Amino acid sequence: MTVEHEFFFISVAAEMLEVHPQTLRKYERLGLIRPSRTVGSMRVYSREELERVRLIKHLVDELGINLAGVQRLLSIAEVMGRIRPLLEERAINTGAGRRQLLAEMRRLSDAIDL
């Protein structure tokens, strides 16, 4: 079974998401999304990137969170995604697992500005 990856150029992605292409460029500039690039440096968006933009739109439009808050929330979510597997008993019982967990906890603390 082969897995096909769909990619969309910025104009198509913007239309699908009902945003201006400049909005996608701004999100990229802020580090909120990371579209791939073609050999000619054209931005292409995967389905995952489109879902991430939909999440950003939801946070901004429906929950009223500003882009700085969105950056922080996404950063926290990414760290939590890396922490979850480290909390498994066999991972946490190794020295390397504990060190990695501590490093991620520091990143989490930095992300929430403690």
Digitized pLDDT (tens) for each residue of the chain, 114 residues in all: 444 678 999 999 999 999 999 999 999 999 999 999 988 889 999 999 999 999 999 999 999 999 999 999 999 998 888 888 877 777 677 788 778 888 888 888 887 775
Question: Exposed/middle/buried for 24, CB within 10 Å: 0-12, 13-18, 19+?
Answer: buried
The answer to whether the pTM exceeds 0.95 is no
Q: How far apart are CA 79 and CA 73, in angstroms?
A: 10
CA distances from 51 to 56, 57, 110 (A): 9, 10, 26
Q: Which fold has domain 1-65?
A: Multidrug-efflux Transporter Regulator; Chain: A; Domain 2 (1.10.1660)
